[in-house]
Structure 1
Amino acid sequence: MPDWIFIIGRSLFFLLLLFITTKVLGKKQISELSFFEYVAGITIGSIAGEVVTGLESNMFHGVLALIVFGFVTFLVNYLAIKSKKFSDFAEGKGTVVIKDGKILEENLKKEKYTIDELSALLRQKDIFKIADVEFAVLEPRGNLSTLLKRENRPLTPKDLQMKMPNEKEPQTVIMDGNIVDEPLRCAGKGRGWLYTELEKLGVTLDNVFVGQVDSYGELTVDLYDDKIQVPEPAQRPLLLATLKKAQADLEIFSLETNCTKSKAMYKKNAALLQATIDKLTPYLNG
């Protein structure tokens, strides 16, 4: 039998053997890698080590084995995309280990996890009480996905029926004491505005390590000298306070005037300004 046929056959045999071994060992051995990625990764590394250190007498044989493992891994990934059944076989399926706050012992044993190991995965998600978990799934790549019971989930603005503004990516406009013009243009600002904002903060450009402009057009800076306290941007809170004062003034005017027509005008505009404040508060509360 020619050597190259022997190498291909040996590569396929060891790939299958390592795959079966990894399946037997379970998900906790592979963490974020899929089964075939894990198998191919350690094997390709071993083959490359053999070739580089000269333990493989024929370099072509080592290269051929690397190509075989690489091609088989690519083929497995391709077939996994095309076929759900093949994907379940090659990469595995998620296993439910907690349901309604109770551990499913049989599923846990099937994946060869202990209570301590499951508890460690839960603690990584800041969960210390199993009874608080509605649903937990051990994913094919070894990570644990959890869903807390509704009463144990953190409150969100949506739960409180609060409107929140959309956030955009901050633009880094200063790096190592130098202005970066492209992000500054993307933020819709210019150098004149930047120097004015730095003056408001009481800092100099050469002392700024990083400066960013957020989606509200406010500048925040991190200085080389950490002992210097930089004031927080206050434009939005000040604007909100000004609007509230104007609305309160209109309410006072409506109470102080004796003119029916003026009183109605002040009340109407106070109500309009209050509606505007209600809409802008999520954006201006800092």
Structure 2
Amino acid sequence: MPDWVIVIGKSLLLITILFFLTKWLGKKQLSQLNIFEYISGIVLGGIVAIHTIEPDSNILNGLVAMAVWFLVPYAVEYISLKSKSFRNFTEGKSTVFIQDGKIMEDNLKKEGYSTDDLLEKLRDNNVFLASDVEFAVLEPSGTLSVLPKKENQPLTAKDLGLKLAPQKEPQAVIMDGKVLLEPLANLSLNTNWLETELDKMSVSIENVFLAQADNDGQLTVDLYDDKIAVAEPTEKPLLLATMKKCQADLELFSLATKNEKAKQMYEKNSKKLQSAIDLVQFHLK
């Protein structure tokens, strides 16, 4: 058998095995490598390369070597999940760089970080003044987690005393011109609703490259033809405008009528509607 046929056969076999080994090790290895995972990734790649380009190499030996280098990090990962001390030994522990707004110079030296390295890591977190940081810690993965001082943190709804309704993630309901039924069902919607919304936009399903819907029932679409302009969702602004118009009408009616009971009724309902507007306008803007 020609050498090039053997190389192709070995390549296909080993790359398939390496693919499944990587999947079995889990997604964590693709994002955060500890020492064993880093070493095993290099060695597994080397084993595959050696046994791919050497037609005379024993493929069984290569498979045994791959199995060993798969089982070792797999066992380490399993034991790490069960033992905190073993996990600290294999993966390392976090190192505090800034605490209570003060830079820990000894910890920087311990990890081999210069002041420039620290400032670079802070800039990666959109922080340009070290004095703006309350706490910063170097994770075992090498990333720097930063907690800005309270006055430098962005305002949240909780800070403003606002209670927000739970929100589901937007779902892709049309992709490449095809309706996706499961995402629609996740939002308690159906194809009739989808067709109605597309009719409002004068758009057919076949012309839609991507359409997403949120839990408020608002649909946004991107068409194959980028020259066609599609109107933005208007349900929320229209609802807010309608509520404001009704409130204004009630005030007008209370001023126009001479009937005292009717005046009191209009004023009472006008205040109720204004209270409702104050509660929901943040969500409808």
SS at match of 2:211: strand
Write out aligned runs for 1:143-162 (5 A).
143-162=143-162
CA contact (8 A) 1:164 1:282 kept: no
- CA 1:205/1:80 → structure 2, altered by over 3 Å: closer, same or farther? closer
Q: Which residue identity lines up with residue 154 of structure 2 in the other structure?
A: P
User: Could you say which residue in structure 2 is the equivalent of 1:196?
Assistant: 196
User: Could you say which residue in structure 1 is the equivalent of 2:24?
Assistant: none
User: Could you say which residue in structure 2 is the equivalent of 1:12?
Assistant: none
SS at match of 1:174: strand
What is the number of residues matched between the two proteins?
256
Instruction: Give CA deviations for 1:36-64 in whole Å, capped at 9, x if unaligned.
Output: 11122212222333333339955444433
Residue range with higher mean Cα deviation, 158-167 or 226-235: 158-167
User: Could you say which residue in structure 2 is the equivalent of 1:27?
Assistant: none
Q: Which residue identity lines up with residue 134 of structure 1 in the other structure?
A: E
User: Could you say which residue in structure 2 is the equivalent of 1:131?
Assistant: 131
- 1:234 partnered with 2:234: yes
User: Could you say which residue in structure 2 is the equivalent of 1:46?
Assistant: 46
Tell me, in whole angstroms, the C-alpha distance in 2 between the residues paired with 1:58 and 1:173: 51
SS at match of 1:52: helix
Quote the offset at 1:261 in angstroms.
Answer: 1.7
- 1:264 partnered with 2:252: no
Q: Which residue identity lines up with residue 280 of structure 2 in the other structure?
A: L
- CA 1:62/1:202 → structure 2, altered by over 3 Å: closer, same or farther? closer
CA RMSD of aligned residues (A): 2.4
User: Could you say which residue in structure 2 is the equivalent of 1:70?
Assistant: 70
User: Could you say which residue in structure 2 is the equivalent of 1:14?
Assistant: none
Residue range with higher mean Cα deviation, 140-149 or 53-62: 53-62
Tell me, in whole angstroms, the C-alpha distance in 2 between the residues paired with 1:197 and 1:100: 53
Q: Which residue identity lines up with residue 149 of structure 2 in the other structure?
A: K
Identical-pair percentage: 52
Question: Mind listing any 5+ residue stretches in structure 1 that lack a counterpart?
Answer: 1-29
SS at match of 1:113: coil
Instruction: Give CA deviations for 1:1-23 in whole Å, capped at 9, x if unaligned.
Output: xxxxxxxxxxxxxxxxxxxxxxx
Residue range with higher mean Cα deviation, 44-53 or 73-82: 44-53
TM-score, normalised by the number of residues in structure 2: 0.80
Q: Which residue identity lines up with residue 145 of structure 1 in the other structure?
A: S
- 1:212 partnered with 2:212: yes
User: Could you say which residue in structure 2 is the equivalent of 1:164?
Assistant: 164
Instruction: Give CA deviations for 1:111-139 in whole Å, capped at 9, x if unaligned.
Output: 11222222222222111111111111110
Tell me, in whole angstroms, the C-alpha distance in 1 between the residues paired with 2:103 and 2:43: 36
User: Could you say which residue in structure 2 is the equivalent of 1:93?
Assistant: 93
Quote the offset at 1:107 in angstroms.
Answer: 0.9
